[in-house]
Structure 1
Amino acid sequence: MLNPNWLNTFVALVDSGHFTKTAEKLFMTQPGVSQHINKLEKACGHSLIIRTKKSFVITEQGRLVYHYAKKLMFAEHTLFEHLAFDDPYSGDCTLACSGSVSLLLYPKLLEIQCQHPNLVVKLKAAPNHQILFDIKEGVIDQGIVTDIPNKIFYDAKELGKEELYLVVPANIDTDVDISKLTMELGLIHHPDAEHYLSLYFSQNTEQNLEQVDISSIPIVGAINQISQILEPISTGIGFTVLPKSAVESFHNVNRLKVIKLNKPVIETLYLVKQKQRVLPARFKTINNVVERIWR
């Protein structure tokens, strides 16, 4: 059997992409990390990484070992999950959602974690397709998505609805054709931009926006940090589409303008888990917090 400490070091190395960062994360020396990798390679009988001057490239054998190690780690996580199954205030809870939803959700989850220190909340920001994939593969326990997933693989519960805002700089004249305005301003792209933009335009029949080809809209900036998406717009650059809560939480909201529509564009949020998976009792504690937000 392969040494689990070596496997853990290898997974940490692949995830971080750097020997020094791995050593810091595992409270080891860099030579200690190298020693673990060398021993693992010897035990496997194959090179797992190709070393360069400042970095490395993982081999195909290394990928196989990495996925094997991840499955072992997940199996161990599941074991501990079962051992603490009935404790509603102890254990890990992994959850994924969009970056904009995380702005609203994470402070509430931190409040419950402060009340119950043994309850460890791990929140990941990701697009819909990645969330569903990670749930199916067992990487995360639950997710919040905006599309009803395939009922063969997932159980889904409607959480609530939220309005989407098309946001432009405060000094822009919005009494014009919106499709032309978006082309002139250009898009501030972010991980959920295409999803929100397609939803916004497809639901909006005003000015024939549903006929706009969103791929033709020029991109004038891009950022993957949710808290900074509105920064360029507040300085007069571009436009974007975000949920209402993300816009209202922005620190310079007075420097933004929201396009007003006769019929608001609404997205529905769903809480999703693996089909027929019975989650530990601690998820009832977490889900009570999640569900209260959209009541």
Structure 2
Amino acid sequence: MLNPIWLETYLTLIDTGHFTKSAEKLHMTQPGVSQHINKLEEACGHALIKRDKKSFTITEQGRLVYQYAKTLIKDEQKLFDQLNFDDPYSGKCTMACSGSVALLLYPKLLKLQRQHPNIHINLKAAPTQQILSDIKHGLIDQGIVTDIPNESFYDFEELGCEELCLLSSISANSNKDWKTMLSELGLISHPDAEHYLSLYFKQSEEQALKRLDISKIPVIGSVNQIGQILEPLAHGIGFTVIPKSVLESFHSPELIQILKANKPVMETLYLVRRKNRELPARYQVLNSLIKAVWN
């Protein structure tokens, strides 16, 4: 890498066109200026100026080095401007969350982007472990997860809770025992179904559900699009477990019934980022909106 001090001396010499003026401007001696130029020429392997007594002309190689040095200074100034400029209403925000949270959150994020067009929001739907991995490897800046992450790698704060609901079509006979009813209905699976079922069976305080083996419940269909999970139920097919917010945003909630358990099942949500990572000011605006959803 070329010495930046030599490059600065060279730029000054070309801009002033005189060794003495360059020395005065740089607070150097004239032999010091000559020494910098000689060292720069040696490093480049080419003569950069053609000397003629007290004057000089720039060589073709010298013009290339001059433009290179100018570009370096310009890029350095651009970098400093970027470091000193942190507009809370401008820049890219990258985050991930579950599909159900995305369904709830994204319309509100779009409102923010409409109010501030220079904020660019990139939202990805993914399971908790994928979100944490993406944050750890710098692929996204933050995420919303449902498990308390490892404090050695992540900073996090509790956002709030969302209710999980066990759902079926309104035509399902809910008077049967849990095992018979769910086995006859069959599960409409989705990427988070096993996690939600496990949590629901554990927290619902229904002893019959706690005894159920999730792996033995017949799966009669699956879909990985959050907005489509309830479509089979609306057509009288199967059951599933999903956050209540998904039901509330469904186009025909009247076709779905909630299979009530003894106790509401709540899942805690956490806003997480990489340990000791200070995010740009725009994330303060974004996160104020996110927190308001659960407050």
Percentage identity across paired residues of the two chains: 61
The CA deviation at 1:196 is 0.8
Distance 1:118 1:214, change over 3 A: same
1:286 is matched with 286
1:195 aligns with 2:187: no
Map 1:90-239 → 2, pairs under 5 A: 90-239=90-239
Mapped to 2, the partners of 1:217 and 1:128 lie a distance apart of 24
The CA deviation at 1:82 is 6.2
The CA deviation at 1:88 is 0.4
- Which residue type is aligned with residue 170 of structure 1? I
Mapped to 2, the partners of 1:140 and 1:110 lie a distance apart of 18
Map 1:11-22 → 2, pairs under 5 A: none
The CA deviation at 1:80 is 11
**2:204·2:262 contact (CA, 8 Å) conserved in 1?**
no
The CA deviation at 1:109 is 0.3
Point out 4+ residue stretches in structure 1 off by more than 6 angstroms. Answer: 79-82
Q: Which runs of 5+ in 1 are unaligned?
A: 1-78
The CA deviation at 1:224 is 0.8
- Which residue type is aligned with residue 266 of structure 1? M
Bigger Rg over Cα: 2
Q: Which runs of 5+ in 2 are unaligned?
A: 1-78
The CA deviation at 1:85 is 5.7
Mapped to 1, the partners of 2:81 and 2:284 lie a distance apart of 14
Question: What does the per-residue CA deviation read over 1:170-225, in whole Å, with 9 as the maximum and x for residues that have no partner?
Answer: 11121221232111111111111111111111112213312221111111111111
Distance 1:218 1:84, change over 3 A: farther
Give TM-score, length-normalised by structure 2.
Answer: 0.71
**2:90·2:118 contact (CA, 8 Å) conserved in 1?**
yes
Distance 1:80 1:167, change over 3 A: farther
**1:96·1:131 contact (CA, 8 Å) conserved in 2?**
yes
Mapped to 2, the partners of 1:204 and 1:81 lie a distance apart of 55
**2:205·2:261 contact (CA, 8 Å) conserved in 1?**
no
Q: Secondary structure at the match of 1:158?
A: strand
- Which residue type is aligned with residue 254 of structure 1? E
Q: Secondary structure at the match of 2:202?
A: helix
User: What root-mean-square deviation, in Å, do the aligned CA atoms of Structure 1 and Structure 2 show?
Assistant: 1.7
Q: Secondary structure at the match of 1:205?
A: coil
**1:84·1:91 contact (CA, 8 Å) conserved in 2?**
no
Mapped to 2, the partners of 1:152 and 1:171 lie a distance apart of 49
1:25 is matched with none
The CA deviation at 1:84 is 7.1
**2:159·2:270 contact (CA, 8 Å) conserved in 1?**
yes
Q: Secondary structure at the match of 1:271?
A: strand
Mapped to 1, the partners of 2:173 and 2:84 lie a distance apart of 58
- Which residue type is aligned with residue 243 of structure 1? P
1:11 is matched with none
In the alignment of these two chains, the number of paired residues is 217
- Which residue type is aligned with residue 175 of structure 2? D
